[in-house]
Amino acid sequence: MARSKAFDPEIALSKAMTVFWEKGYAATSMQDLVDAMGIHRGSLYDTFQDKRQLFLQAIAYYHNTVVRSAIAHLKMPGAARSAIEWHFENLAERSLENTPPRGCLITNSLVELAARDSEIAAVLKKGLQQVEDAFFQALVRAQDQGEIAPEKDLRTLAQYLTSSLQGMRVMAQVNMPPDALKQTARLILSTLD
């Protein structure tokens, strides 16, 4: 009879995600992971295989928890222009909550790994696509409600909002003052006019 795990794999995965988020992939050692996850090295290998596979699972967990939660308000049935505006304003407000600021795990990892690992880059891009699709859906509703001009290319606008959002997260990491982030957010949102 197989022994049951003495730990919750989802909790361990959440802790691993946080370590990768704070340190990056290359700077995270197996010992960092074992310590943070509170499990034995053998259990880590038995459950998650190796560091790379654990990282891929941590990214999937990030997509399914952090990203999904962050964009939920954009996907609500009534969400339109005000939801998009709130998303950017909220990012500027929360920019200094984490000390030091962690930024976005997807963006951080893309910068670190995309050029040398196409599989990881493809997985990371799925998270960005989730964000872009949520913006697109809100833009469609906003256009249908007359809040955005009918000639606007909504897919291109959704791509622009996604890249701008990631840029704001990077700037928040270098401690750009919240007021400057708010001004940047207003400029970004002016493209909706």
Q: Are 55 and 108 in contact (CB under 8 A)?
A: no
Q: CB under 8 Å to 28, separation ≥6 — which residues? A: 19, 20, 51
| Structure confidence at residue 96 (pLDDT) | 63
Q: CB under 8 Å to 62, separation ≥6 — which residues? A: 17, 21, 105, 106, 127
Q: Are 95 and 181 in contact (CB under 8 A)?
A: yes
CATH of 63-192, one of 1.10.357.10, 1.10.390.10, 3.40.190.10, 2.40.50.150: 1.10.357.10
**Distance between start and end Cα atoms, the chain:** 64
Q: Are 67 and 81 in contact (CB under 8 A)?
A: no
Could you tell me the sign of the dihedral formed by the alpha carbons of 121, 12, 101, 181, in that order?
positive
Q: CB under 8 Å to 42, separation ≥6 — which residues? A: none
pLDDT in tens, 112-167: 999 999 999 999 999 999 999 999 999 999 999 999 999 999 999 999 999 999 99
| Structure confidence at residue 2 (pLDDT) | 47
User: Taking residues 1-19, what's their average pLDDT?
Assistant: 81
pLDDT in tens, 29-68: 999 999 999 999 999 999 999 999 999 999 999 999 999 9
User: Taking residues 169-182, what's their average pLDDT?
Assistant: 86
Exposed / middle / buried, residue 79 (Cβ in 10 Å: 0-12, 13-18, 19+)? buried
Higher model confidence: residue 18 or residue 5?
Answer: 18
pLDDT in tens, 58-106: 999 999 999 999 999 999 988 899 999 999 998 888 876 766 667 889 9
Give 1's pLDDT tier (boundaries 50, 70, 90): very low
Q: Residues 76, 141, 127, CA angle at the centre, nearest 5°?
A: 55
User: How many H-runs (helices) and E-runs (strands) does the chain carry?
Assistant: 10, 0
